[in-house]
Structure 1
């Protein structure tokens, strides 16, 4: 991984107006949790309806989509990626730097409010588990969305289709599709870590961990291969 590229990416990502989109969802999650607690909502209602239904199903994937498609996709769109590609830097290091930044930002912006919301809901046992699971989910989502940003000109649209249709609709109706749903990986891992019966899914933590690794590796590999097609003669790939 190239630390210089990682630093430039982080500075550029947080300096864009797009970064402002990272703020509302965490605040909404914590606010709704606080309101639910104040009006007497039960722990299972807050855990399943808010922490999972809003945090895992909406906050995590949308934050990861915004960040994952932004760390490289915006540079491809405005042409500034050429400045990076003309440097003698292996494509794999460029992608790994972008992936590290996307995972870090998505993980922090998702995991911290999830932990805070769990504490507000008096579900302290779920807080660390959800935070850790969100960090793992952020890695898988980031690899997936980073690959989309290199493969297509419409990464946000395709990412939304995956999140809304595949994860939001199909995976909650057709059990078989959950094995290819990062959302359910996060739930399974959080349930395994916490041992809580308030959340759960039909796939095992083992399958969730393995598939998270598969998506991460596959997405990273695809992004590297695709970025290599942008090579200029004489460059190192």
Structure 2
């Protein structure tokens, strides 16, 4: 399992895909720093930067890049066949890749969100945002990792989920929020550090329970799906 994790990390950060992880976090930090430098009140920019950019764009897009990349690229280039010939349980392969994806996503997103929270309010707000980003990293990467095994176009479907389900329906249709990871993250952050900059739409208990369900269900589905792959790289 550790060997698979090392190979996954090396493949993820050794590709050009890794460079795609930097612009959005830097943009988030840059905007927060500019607003703070001009001495703007956080009420004027905090919600737009933290929620509108951090939780709605940076976190899910980074998770999409990483979650679909840790396995999707191996499916495309045939490397998966080599891995499947090894005496490794399908569960161990998925869990190793999931751990790498979570760590990469959490580190890349929690640091800029902490900085944004620090500039917008306090260190406590920064810690709350960072911890919420870690929780979101688990749910998002499990979901996108599963998509990479269920479809040949996981990035497209992932963008549909982010832009349409969360970005459009999640904001205007209340019934869809129970399946919005973005709303879970906002609720968790608001519970850890109540602030007017965050406007949670679901209860924190719902957020926690649904986040856990996302992780468990998506991981189980991914394990079962990988188990259906033949050595030719196709599902049986």
TM-score tier after normalising by the smaller chain length: over 0.9
Q: Is the 8 A contact 1:34 1:121 kept in 2?
A: no
Q: Which residue of 2 aligns with 1:118?
A: 117
Q: Is the 8 A contact 1:29 1:117 kept in 2?
A: yes
Distance 1:10 1:45 in 2: 39
In the alignment, structure 1 segments of 5+ residues that lack a partner are: none
Q: CA deviation at 1:88?
A: 1.1
Distance 2:41 2:205 in 1: 30
Q: 1:123 to 1:43 in 2, by over 3 A?
A: farther
Is 165-174 or 224-233 further displaced after alignment? 224-233
1:32-47 paired onto structure 2 within 5 Å? 32-47=31-46
1:119-158 paired onto structure 2 within 5 Å? 119-158=118-157
Q: Which residue of 2 aligns with 1:201?
A: 200
Q: Which residue of 2 aligns with 1:223?
A: 222
**3-state DSSP of counterpart to 1:69:** helix
Q: CA deviation at 1:45?
A: 2.9
Q: CA deviation at 1:42?
A: 1.9
Distance 1:187 1:161 in 2: 20
Q: Which residue of 2 aligns with 1:89?
A: 88
Distance 1:4 1:45 in 2: 48
Is 218-227 or 189-198 further displaced after alignment? 189-198
Distance 1:28 1:172 in 2: 23
Q: Is the 8 A contact 1:189 1:205 kept in 2?
A: yes
Residue 162 (str. 1) matches residue 148 (str. 2): no
Is 38-47 or 199-208 further displaced after alignment? 38-47
**3-state DSSP of counterpart to 2:70:** coil
What is the Cα-based RMSD across aligned positions, in Å?
1.3
Q: Which residue of 2 aligns with 1:58?
A: 57
Q: CA deviation at 1:232?
A: 4.6
Offset from partner CA, 1:105-150 (integer Å, 9 cap, x none):
0000000111012222343331000100000100000000000001
TM-score, scaled to structure 2: 0.95
**3-state DSSP of counterpart to 2:175:** helix
Aligned residues: 232
Distance 1:109 1:12 in 2: 17
Distance 1:184 1:159 in 2: 16
TM-score, scaled to structure 1: 0.95
Distance 1:214 1:121 in 2: 32
Distance 1:108 1:210 in 2: 23
Q: Is the 8 A contact 1:43 1:123 kept in 2?
A: no
Distance 1:172 1:39 in 2: 30
Q: Which residue of 2 aligns with 1:23?
A: 22
Offset from partner CA, 1:40-59 (integer Å, 9 cap, x none):
33222332110111000000
